[in-house]
Structure 1
Amino acid sequence: MGMNQVVGAPTDVRQEPSLFLGDGTVRALMREHDWTTSPLGHPRDWPQALCTTVALMLDSKFPMFVAWGDELGFLYNDAYSVILGAKHPASLGLRFCDVWPDIWDEIAPMVARTMGGESIYLERFPLTMRRHGYDEETWFRFSYSPVRGDDGIVVGMFCACVEITNEVLAQRYREEENTRLVNLFEEAPGIIAVLRGPDHVFELTNRSYLALVGHRDLIGKPVREALPEVQGQGYFELLDQVYASGQPFVGHAVPLRVQREPGGPLEECFLDFVYQPIRDQFGKVTGIFLEGSDVTARKRIEDELREANRQKDDFLAMLAHELRNPLAPITTAAQLLQRGQMDAPGIARASAIIARQAEHMTALVNDLLDVSRVTRGQVTMAQETVAVEPLVQEAVEQVRPMLDSCHHELLLDIEPGLYVLGDRTRLIQVLSNILNNAAKYTPARGRIVLSVRTDGGDVRLAVRDNGQGIDLPVLPYIFDLFTQAERTPDRSQGGLGLGLALVKSLVLLHGGRVDALSDGLGEGSEFVVYLPLLEPVVEVPAPAPAASVPDASGLRVLVVDDNVDAAEMLATLLGMNGYEVRVEFDGASALTTALREPPAVALLDIGLPDMDGHELARRLRAQPATAGAVLVALTGYGQAEDQQRAHDAGFDHHMVKPADLDRLLTLLASIER
């Protein structure tokens, strides 16, 4: 390269190379650069190969640099100056190793290979660079090419590169996001799967899906191959339909039967799910996204609630029927008595009917209350040694009227000398309920066998009949509340389906168990109670029966009840037994009467219209004239908490309506004595 002579210029000023002519920041820097300290020397002395390479580089918009000579003098273009960062423009003309000392160890081997004549291309090369005063992770796509002189010997290297740091970081973010989504996908509580293609090949599944169908190898398999037992259940056809139509499908509580274990049985579950078509950029369906949840537990609860509601409705219907049954003869008998046209035997029959049917209604209500108390854990069991044989005899005596009316044959087979620990009254109730059930569901002139035997550490009490038996689908639920075998429309057997539920609860409270056995309808049934056996003890004689209640006379009794009929009938009964009775129908009137004519005994209803019975009792206790009266709560509320409230209010006794007349007369007689 020559040098233009300028008048008045120093004699060492050299001609500017033509490759420096033109636009560009780096070209301008090259024109002004002091090349005396550069290993490249002055551009006038550069070889043609270098000039050609630099010219190509400077005219390119692509980031490029050239390293030339033994010391690899460094030249670059405008686009590469961005990569240099703060190293620009000081890097112009320096040695390559001085430009990039922070990455020289990583690139020096590749530079050596290139200077040895090898071309190198790297797609995604990481470098930790210091170009802005701090270390930063970077990635580059670049090629190193050897540059040869006229003699073919490599005299330098040429690099074309592009920084892809942002691209890599964006991809890394996407991968991390995908990983996070995959983890969420994997841990999602709902079932998730991705199926591809018309054959619905599994591409992805999560843990919940595998838990649903059993842990098996699904990925890469068509759904019909992966889940062969689902064939014929409609799921595959739905997948085909969604794939062909592009319309999603939503299912609610759809049954699915799967084989979770190899060779295992089909297990039924219920699913809420959606089949959502997956489309490509052209709108074509390429797969199906499945999302849903196993709602088996919810479905079973809903079914149980529906069944419970059905049983409740059935029970209410039974209750209405069973209460109407005794009400009908009571009403008829009462209407006949009201007319006053009956003779003495007729009056006696009507009275007996009313008493008998009222007793039946009382038994129904007591059953309801018993079940309520037992199921709420409000029954306290007495713990006493109970001889089994007398217990059985007493239970039989309670059921004897029904046995005789149905002309049943009862056979007893009792092992003597057996004892259990428990509540004698409740155990009699258990056995009488079972005997009553056998008598009720055995046609007339049937045969019932009651056997008592030791069985290991238990006493086994079994009642077997040759009656109508139990339908096998009903058998597992026979001890459930309100469960009854199917009956004829006349419902002639009666009952509320409470007896066996009460039996089971009471037996469990005694630490025992109860089973029901039957071969089906028409095959009879057997109920077996197991109770823990006690060691033999000396039998305690039964207490002597109570003496008959003597008639009373002159004792003043105050009856207070807002039910006029109930109050007057009770007053009539007490008057017939010699008591002097006053009747009031509200609390205020009762208080006035009691202060004017202090009673020895006051029978107080609790639900009075003005002040309740508790308040009336407190006021009577507060007055000197009535403080010593015996107060008896006569109420329809008989729970333990009701008795406690009555006691707290000052009552001496608590009786549940309808009052047991014998018990009431005994109480009054004891007060009189």
Structure 2
Amino acid sequence: MTSQTAQADFLTGGDEMAAMIRAHDWSSSPLGPIAGWSQSLRSIVSLMLASEFAMCLAWGDELGFLYNDHYARIMHDKHPAALGRPFADVWADVWSDISPLVDKALGGDASFFENLPLVTNRKGYDEQAWFTFSYSPLRDDSGAIAGMFCSTYESTERVQTERALRDERERMGQMFAQAPTFMAMLRGAEHRFELTNPGYDKLIGHRDVLGRTVAETLPDAVEQGFLDLLDGVFTSGVAFTATGMLYAVQAEPGGPINDRYVDFVYQPIRDATGAVVGVFVEGADVTDRKRLERDLQSLNADLEQRVSDRTQELIEAQEALRQAQKMEAVGQLTGGIAHDFNNLLQGITGSLEIVQRRVAQGRIDELDRFITGATTAANRAASLTHRLLAFSRRQPLDPRPVQANALIASLEDLLRRTTGEQIAFETVLADGLWTTLCDPNQLENSLLNLVINARDAMPDGGVLTIETRNALLDDHFAASQRDVRPGHYVCICVSDTGTGMSADTIAKAFEPFFTTKPIGQGTGLGLSMIYGFARQSEGYARIYSEVGHGTTIKLYLPRHYGEAEQGEALPGLTQDHATNAGEIVLVVEDDAVVRALIVEVLGELGYQAVEAHDGPAGLDCLRTMERIDLLVTDIGLPGLNGRQVADAGRMMRPGLRVLFMTGYAENAALASGFLEPGMSMITKPFAMEALATQIRTIIEG
């Protein structure tokens, strides 16, 4: 063993520093011959070398440097040349920072420093580093201070981590403070405020809540159940979410209450073990949004009402236009049939005169022929009257299954009279025509308008043809037409041999109020209403015309897969209409013939009929007669009208049953308020069977 190693033979172990110390030439070291150290110093060196902490010592006048393996690691490129050198030389780059600390230790005072920042060049360039260490004085056998002992570790990583955490906390704090929402952190089961942001302070009225509990600072929130919600989140660990919840805030006791609407979330805060230790509150004051939504709802409701009102106005305007167009057609129709209607009246009156004369002569063997002629003419006149009333009456659209051939056939007499004698009227009705779905009254009105237009287009006469056929509009045809869907249709064509239309006229023909007729002879509503009727029926209208060669207008109405409705026949006058109770019926009618007919039929059926020729006379009967089971009265009476008679009668006889008669179509569609319970109405002209049925129904209740 060499002399150098003999000086350190007190060292044991196989670690790096112990081996280096044994092999070091200590004769030239400021530490001197360490073999001569006292046993206590040797023990310190041995403990230092075996320690898991970074330790060093400096000894003698020059403070020779001795350290362990862990200290060597924080020295980087200073090791191993630092071993045995003076402490001041080793740490010359930071000596100005640590020399006061070394002097303090050599003066006999121990010191502790945490996270001391030092600028070193341990890695070959200047670097900021932090160390936590303690310096303690070392004494020799005589008790004199002969050096110092240091225990240290580099805390650079911890300092940097703490600084990063601090910076992150500051950043999060700024975000917390600047967040547009409100936030608060509550700790513990008592929900003590740990942190709030300005948004939360504003929500609660800037009350001082930090360090205090929700129950202490927000009694208004407690009363409204928010504390119970917090308890539920803290206990269950399940978040709670609310949208648009009302929070009545009272910023100070006795102060005003402001209603606020809030969206918020209560989130549980957990520790490292997963246990709930608090609640995080986050949300937004949505009061302005709620008020805006409420205003929008009010505005929408008002807008919907205005749209509804406007829609109703448009519907009423459309109905008014349709009615105006219908009345125009009726006006033209009545002018066209006046002559024929007078002929019908002539047939009635003439036949009755002959019957009267033959009866006076006692010649009654051929009366049936004249009675039949008068009845036929009367029925034809009644049919014409019903048609006119139906055309002029206001009524909503009522789509029903319709057999177009039957409808056209029922109109044929009316349409022939409309065209006049100069125009040849023809119908070509297809066999097996499909059923369609539309409003039959509107279809009748459309046909009448088309016939009138065709008649006016042939002032010098011509041929008018109504034709029906089944039509299949295929994809190719639909693609070549505007707004046409392929499918099965019933086609109704009205053709004339008149003046025809130009291309410009055809392009405008379906526009409302467009007309080629002189002022005062047309409203321009006819074809536009026909087009609208076809479209409302999910069909189409098309015009084919050539100037000088006539016009064809085709209505395509969709096929309906079902049977057309059949009209119900009026019940016949049978014994079922008769009575055995002899009920008393007061008949008030200013037309003597009509009154006599009604009284005659009532008598035949077993009723006791009492006559009154006007309103005042009927009122006298109601006032003086002991019993009246039914009042049958015309509405249009002289003196007092029928409704006035009925109202007065009910004043005297509560519950009096009333049957009104009227010859006006408008009255047949009177508002529901006109007829009260126990009242009914029948429109003239009526069949006696219909009258008997009505009377029996009313009397039987």
TM-score, normalised via structure 2 length: 0.47
* TM-score of the pair, normalised by structure 1: 0.49
